[in-house]
Amino acid sequence: VQLQASGGGSVQTGGSLRLSCAASGTIFSVSTMGWYRQAPGKQRDWVAVVTSADFTNYLNSGKGRFSISRDSAKNAVYLQMNNLKPEDTAVYYCYADLKTTASSPVSRSWGQGTLVTVSS
């Protein structure tokens, strides 16, 4: 299974970006999908999650600015980020909790990361 993330870039404060991530390979089912981010010199932090029932949740600083969605038919997850701030600068990683067969356990797969840079 591979997750391909895209959509990162450089924007000014107040700008917007939409990150995309699609899973491919042998996939039986996908439950939770989401995003983490890692700023330079810091640990990886959780950003947002969307479940198979379309329940969503966000880190506090992202509420009202970030919106996560998914396309289950494409095994894809998206993160719309508005009103970006310099502190949002980080490498963003997508993930998917999935099963490769009906009998396999759920395991987490990660994307390669996409860089978001917000300048003041």
- List, for residues 2-33, the tens digit of each pLDDT value: 999 999 999 999 999 999 999 999 999 999 99
State the pLDDT at residue 82: 98
Task: Take residue 50 and report the two structure tokens written for it.
Answer: 């969307």
* Residue 6: C-alpha distances to residues 43, 53, 92, 100, 102 (Å): 21, 24, 9, 23, 29
| Model confidence pLDDT, tens digit, residues 18-75 | 999 999 999 999 999 999 999 999 999 999 999 999 999 999 999 999 999 999 999 9
State the pLDDT at residue 16: 98
Question: Predicted confidence band at 114 (pLDDT cuts at 50, 70, 90)?
Answer: very high
State the pLDDT at residue 36: 98
State the pLDDT at residue 91: 98
State the pLDDT at residue 90: 98
Number of H helices, E strands in the chain: 0, 11
